[in-house]
Structure 1
Amino acid sequence: MSTTTTSQTPESEGPGRHGRLIQNEATTEIPVHLLFRDESDPVSVPLRPTVVGRRHGTGEQPRLRRPSPAKPRFVPQVDPELGERPARVLPGAAGLLAGVCGAAGCVAASWWAGVLPPLAVAALRLPAYPGAGLGPLQWAAYAGAGALGVLGFGGLARGRTGRAWVLGLFGRYRGTVRRTGLMWVNPLLLRRRVDVRLRHWRSEPMPAVDGDGVALRVVVLVVWRVRDTARAVLGIDDHETYLRECVEAALARVPVEAPGGTRTQVEESRAALTRLTAADAAPVGLEVFSVQPVRIEYAPEVAPAMHRRRVAALDARHRASVLTSVVDSVEDTVTRLTVRGLVDLDDYERKALVRDLTVAFCAGRGERVP
């Protein structure tokens, strides 16, 4: 009588059967059919990434954390519909012609009314006319000719290179004039002159800090210009004051290298100041090319302490360089004397020679032996 022992072996799971799972308190659930597959072209099973908590001594991976999104930086906004556009103007010849016609009309109305002086009649070579008097028609002719002359001569304007006019009518923006030369602009429009040339501004000493938080006073040179005249004039109260405040805000956010910083650090600080100031000034129509510190000094409350610290650092650096030079000179002298066989020294004599040479070299350089 034979006893048959049945051993259970894992069978391949078919696609239609529910996969058995291996589960442990320290692992996630893993389908068995993913470990033992007999299909030549198995069906891909989408798996979702699992995040587990780390347990000391189990070898588990640490919990995966998604990086927190960066907080959006505040950007000033102005009216999106407010933007520079060219204004409608006429050549200056049109205004001159209208003004001359208006003046000629006034003279003709005076001659018609008979109020033109005889000398003017003779100078203009007009025929003698007794005049019809100042009636309604004459006054209407006076009004029309006078209005034409005032509009013609009153609208004449001269455009200059690097200057622009922002035009407005009853509080509404009507366009910007960047043309040069003589032109005619509607005299009813309000004109605001804007300088659009490349400009530079040297600030007064502004508060700042270095990388260690030490208070500084910085004078910066800003190179800028007005790019959008409509936003610079109408979108803000005073664009020059706003630019000054933007520079001061950038100095409060960017550490400025203290006196004695490397060229690379100074360039990085200048680039950061320029980038922040340009980003803040762009929405109001200002274009900033460079914000460069031209004078950096410590604040009055920390200047004496930082001056003593700087002098001490320079003195220590100088002493270290002198000591290194003396040690190299002594080592070279002793080595040459020994190699050439000029002296035969034991340890005590070598130490005495090194001490005497060190004292001699330091005395020759005007330094005291530490």
Structure 2
Amino acid sequence: MKETKAWHMNGFIGIICIAILVAGALVSFLQQQIVITVLFVVIAVALASGITIVQPNQAKVLIFFGRYLGTIRDSGLFLTVPLTIRQKVSLRVRNFTSSKLKVNDVQGNPIEIAAVIVFRVIDSAKAIFDVDDYEQFVEIQSEAAIRHVATKYPYDTFTDDDEITLRGNADVISDVLAAELQERLKVAGVEVIEARLTHLAYSPEIASAMLQRQQAIAILAARKKIVEGAVSMAQMAIEQLDKEGILELDDERKANMVNNLMVAIVSERATQPVINTGSLY
């Protein structure tokens, strides 16, 4: 099914024609011309059944005894095919916010996810005839697409790899979700304008454990940076002493100095200095 344009004309002209027919029927009745009177009345009633009003950003789908005649997209008062069923379809942009869905990500971690879908109808014939209820169809397919996308990616990554994650790549996930939805909803004549995640979190039963894991990884990453800095500082100190010729240290003394610097820099607590005042001999 594909949308086509239905025949329609200015509604005010139709009202004038109906008024002329009613006046003609009244004159014929006064002249006792019953057949002409009945004919005028029947035509006037038929034309009156074709008067319709279309609001802005709205469409009227015309059905004539089970046959699709076309769609009126223009707004205003119109005279169209008489004796037709006119079904209203909104062309406005609408939002659908999904409920919080509990799914497992690609790593099997239970998460909670929700999204908002911005859509509009672009083909009224598909929306009315190709699916039973296009609004309910949008809701069901949106939740199915959200579940499918959530199972394709991890919630978060704990490595340095450039892996796409639900938490760290929101724009990429939104594009993937929008493309998935568009593929599912095109059968209903619906265009997906935007799809965005509105809620993303670990399920309550594992949230505390995953938080501890994230904290441990953050501590390890910080330790790694501190150790790298400590090694660099120790190397710079030895090189500076050798360059300036201030002290001549053997390998054992260099090792002791490096050990002391590493302990002082890497330790979580403030170190207590020990002052060497010299030897008794």
* TM-score, reference length from structure 2: 0.77
Q: How does 1:1-370 map to 2 (within 5 A)?
A: 82-105=1-24, 108=27, 112=30, 137=33, 141=37, 143-254=38-149, 255-259=152-156, 265=165, 266=169, 267-362=171-266
Secondary structure of the residue aligned to 1:223 is strand
Does structure 2 conserve the Cα–Cα contact (< 8 Å) formed by 1:176 and 1:229? yes
Shift of 1:233: 1.1
Write out per-residue CA displacement over residues 244-272 of structure 1, whole angstroms, 9 at most, x where no aligned residue: 22233333433234157969553554444
Secondary structure of the residue aligned to 1:194 is strand
Relative contact order, CA 8 A, sep 6+: which one is greater? 2
Secondary structure of the residue aligned to 1:256 is coil
Measure, in 2, the Cα distance between the counterparts of 1:256 and 1:299. 16
CA gap 1:367/1:269 in 2 versus in 1, 3 angstroms: farther
Measure, in 2, the Cα distance between the counterparts of 1:279 and 1:106. 56
Structure 2, unaligned runs of 5 or more: 272-281
Does structure 1 conserve the Cα–Cα contact (< 8 Å) formed by 2:185 and 2:191? yes
Measure, in 2, the Cα distance between the counterparts of 1:367 and 1:158. 81
Shift of 1:367: 7.7
* TM-score, reference length from structure 1: 0.61
Shift of 1:236: 1.1
Shift of 1:139: 9.1
- Which protein is richer in helix relative to its size? 2
Secondary structure of the residue aligned to 1:343 is coil
Does structure 1 conserve the Cα–Cα contact (< 8 Å) formed by 2:146 and 2:177? yes
Write out per-residue CA displacement over residues 66-122 of structure 1, whole angstroms, 9 at most, x where no aligned residue: xxxxxxxxxxxxxxxx22221122221332212322443465467x3xxxxxxxxxx
Aligned to 1:27: none
CA gap 1:263/1:219 in 2 versus in 1, 3 angstroms: farther
Q: Which amino acid aligns with 2:55?
A: R
Secondary structure of the residue aligned to 2:204 is coil
Measure, in 2, the Cα distance between the counterparts of 1:293 and 1:256. 14
Aligned to 2:278: none
User: Over aligned residue pairs, what C-alpha RMSD do you find?
Assistant: 3.1
Secondary structure of the residue aligned to 1:339 is helix
Once the two structures are aligned, what percentage of the paired residues are identical?
25
CA gap 1:293/1:139 in 2 versus in 1, 3 angstroms: same
Measure, in 2, the Cα distance between the counterparts of 1:246 and 1:213. 23
Shift of 1:164: 0.8
CA gap 1:301/1:192 in 2 versus in 1, 3 angstroms: farther
CA gap 1:271/1:336 in 2 versus in 1, 3 angstroms: same
CA gap 1:140/1:366 in 2 versus in 1, 3 angstroms: farther
Structure 1, unaligned runs of 5 or more: 1-81, 113-131
CA gap 1:230/1:356 in 2 versus in 1, 3 angstroms: same
Shift of 1:181: 2.4
Q: Larger C-alpha radius of gyration, 1 or 2? A: 1
CA gap 1:329/1:187 in 2 versus in 1, 3 angstroms: farther
